[in-house]
Structure 1
Amino acid sequence: MSRQSESTVLFDALGPKGRRNSNIASIISAVVILGALAYAASVLASEGFFEASRWANPLDKLVVETTWIPSILATLRAFALGSILALILGVIFGFGRISRFRLTRWAAAGYVQFFRSLPLVLLIWISFTIDGHFGFTTDVLGWTNEARRLTFLVLGLGIYNGAVLAEILRAGVAALPPGQAMAGHAIGLSHGQVQRLVVLPQVLRNMLPAVLAQLVILLKDTSLGYVITYPELLHSAKIIGNDYGNSFLQALVIAALIYFVLAYVLSKLVVLAERRLRRKTAAPAKAVQQIETAVVAE
Structure 2
Amino acid sequence: MSRQQESTVLFDALGPKGRRNSNIASIVSAVVILGVLAFVVSVLAAEGFFEQSRWVNPLDALVVQTTWIPSILDTLTAFALGSILALILGVIFGFGRISRFGLTRWASTVYVQFFRSLPLVLLIWISFTIDGYFGFTTGELGWSNDARRLTFLVLGLGIYNGAILAEILRAGVAALPPGQAMAGYAVGLRHGQVQRLIVLPQVLRNMLPAVLAQLVILLKDTSLGYVITYPELLHSANIIGRDYSNSFLQALVIAAFIYFVMAYALSKLVVVAERRLRKKTAAPAARVQQIEQAAFIAE
TM-score range, shorter chain: over 0.9
Q: Which residue does 1:52 correspond to in 2?
A: 52
Q: Which residue does 1:295 correspond to in 2?
A: none
Task: State whether structure 2 residue 196 is matched by structure 1 residue 196.
Answer: yes
Q: Which residue does 1:244 correspond to in 2?
A: 244
Amino acid at match of 1:195: Q
Would you say how many aligned residue pairs link Structure 1 and Structure 2? Answer: 292
Within 5 Å, which residues of 2 pair with 1:82-231? 82-231=82-231
Cα gap change, 1:291 to 1:26, in 2 (>3 Å): farther
* Aligned counterparts of 1:138 and 1:151: Cα–Cα separation in 2: 12
RMSD, aligned α-carbons: 1.4
Query: The residue matched to 1:209 in structure 2 has which SS?
Result: helix
What CA deviation, in whole Å up to 9, does each residue of 1:30-54 have, x standing for no partner?
Answer: 0000000000000000000000110
**TM-score, normalization: structure 2?**
0.96
- Offset, 1:3: 2.0
Cα gap change, 1:33 to 1:288, in 2 (>3 Å): farther
- Offset, 1:218: 0.1
Q: Which residue does 2:80 correspond to in 1?
A: 80
Q: Which residue does 2:63 correspond to in 1?
A: 63
What CA deviation, in whole Å up to 9, does each residue of 1:104-131 have, x standing for no partner?
Answer: 1111000000000000000000000000
Amino acid at match of 2:263: A
- Offset, 1:136: 0.2
* Aligned counterparts of 1:125 and 1:2: Cα–Cα separation in 2: 50
* Aligned counterparts of 1:257 and 1:193: Cα–Cα separation in 2: 45
* Aligned counterparts of 1:142 and 1:2: Cα–Cα separation in 2: 60
**TM-score, normalization: structure 1?**
0.96
- Offset, 1:285: 4.3
* Aligned counterparts of 2:291 and 2:166: Cα–Cα separation in 1: 37
- Offset, 1:290: 9.5
Amino acid at match of 1:91: V
- Offset, 1:187: 1.0
* Aligned counterparts of 1:206 and 1:116: Cα–Cα separation in 2: 22
Q: Which residue does 1:234 correspond to in 2?
A: 234
* Aligned counterparts of 1:82 and 1:197: Cα–Cα separation in 2: 26
* Aligned counterparts of 1:28 and 1:194: Cα–Cα separation in 2: 53
Cα gap change, 1:181 to 1:54, in 2 (>3 Å): same
- Offset, 1:288: 6.6
Query: The residue matched to 1:237 in structure 2 has which SS?
Result: helix
* Aligned counterparts of 1:242 and 1:83: Cα–Cα separation in 2: 31
What CA deviation, in whole Å up to 9, does each residue of 1:261-289 have, x standing for no partner?
Answer: 00000001100000000001112245679
* Aligned counterparts of 1:3 and 1:286: Cα–Cα separation in 2: 23
What CA deviation, in whole Å up to 9, does each residue of 1:141-184 have, x standing for no partner?
Answer: 00000000000000000000000000000000000011111111
* Aligned counterparts of 1:19 and 1:289: Cα–Cα separation in 2: 40
* Aligned counterparts of 1:181 and 1:124: Cα–Cα separation in 2: 39
What CA deviation, in whole Å up to 9, does each residue of 1:211-237 have, x standing for no partner?
Answer: 000000000000000000000000000
Query: The residue matched to 1:93 in structure 2 has which SS?
Result: helix
What CA deviation, in whole Å up to 9, does each residue of 1:229-249 have, x standing for no partner?
Answer: 000000000000000000000
Amino acid at match of 2:202: Q
Task: State whether structure 2 residue 36 is matched by structure 1 residue 42.
Answer: no
